Amino acid sequence: MKRLTITLAGCLVSVALHAQSAPASAPDPASVKKQLRNKEIGLRYGVQIGVGAGAPDQAMQYAAVDFAAYNYRNIGLRTGLNLFTTPLHDGQYASVPLQFSWRSGVRRMPTSSPDGYYYDGTWYPDRETADPSIGRILFEAFVPEVPSVFELHAGLTPGLLFGPVRSDDTGLYDIRQRFVCTADAGGRLQLPIGRVRLFLDITYHYYLTRNFQVERPRPDRDLGAPHRSFVGVSGGLSLTF
């Protein structure tokens, strides 16, 4: 009985010492997941402008719905639906982006210190700090820190061309192939305001498929060769959750 009591006492002491030395319990993963905003949905409007070899003045306007999901390392997948309002043919054009995406954390652009800049243990006021302009005073009063999020994305965008194969409009192309696929690479700058983010997106698109042609050349239809390289510029807003 005495040995049993000593053994139990030793076990209790060991458990108590282990509890004191053990680190605090990790937070509940479910609660951490709720605090992180790893998904976003947004609307944007933009234009794809033809660059490089091809006929001049080729541009396609489009509206888009975006959806993105990220893991804890800010690596994720971006997708959505693009609907082109002014394609290069007589019909409709819809595509679905499938892009891998990486985003930075929320970064802030600090304004200058009223004491100037710091070097080797001493503050050195500069001319702007000593005699600031009115614009600088207003900027630092109303925008003390500008938050931003930068994103890089790359992938493929498959799509389909709808409508008649031959176009009667002299300013549009005939359809050579309905299935479309582009290779994409670009970046996005986001300005977060709470859960809402305003953004500007610039993405390069290379058309892997040859989709447009002039099937029946006419004197009044000198369109030139269609572009295969386009630069997309778009802007909009998204909601994180």
pLDDT, tens digit (0-9, with 9 covering 90-100), for 155-201: 999 999 999 999 888 788 999 999 999 999 999 999 999 899 999 99
List residues bridging with 94 in a β-sheet.
Answer: 83, 160
- Classify residue 204 by burial, with Cβ atoms within 10 Å: 0-12, 13-18, 19+: middle
| Per-residue model confidence as pLDDT tens digits over 9-25 | 565 445 444 544 444 44
Neighbours of 195 (CB within 10 A): 11
- CA R_g for the chain: 29
- Which pLDDT score, from 0 to 100, does residue 98 have? 98
Pick 241 or 14 by higher pLDDT. Answer: 241
Lowest model confidence (mean pLDDT) among 31-45, 49-63, 68-82: 31-45
Name the pairing type of β-strands 39-51 and 229-240.
antiparallel
* Count of positions (residues) in the chain: 241
d(CA 188, CA 182): 18
- 195: number of CA atoms within 13 Å, CB side? 11
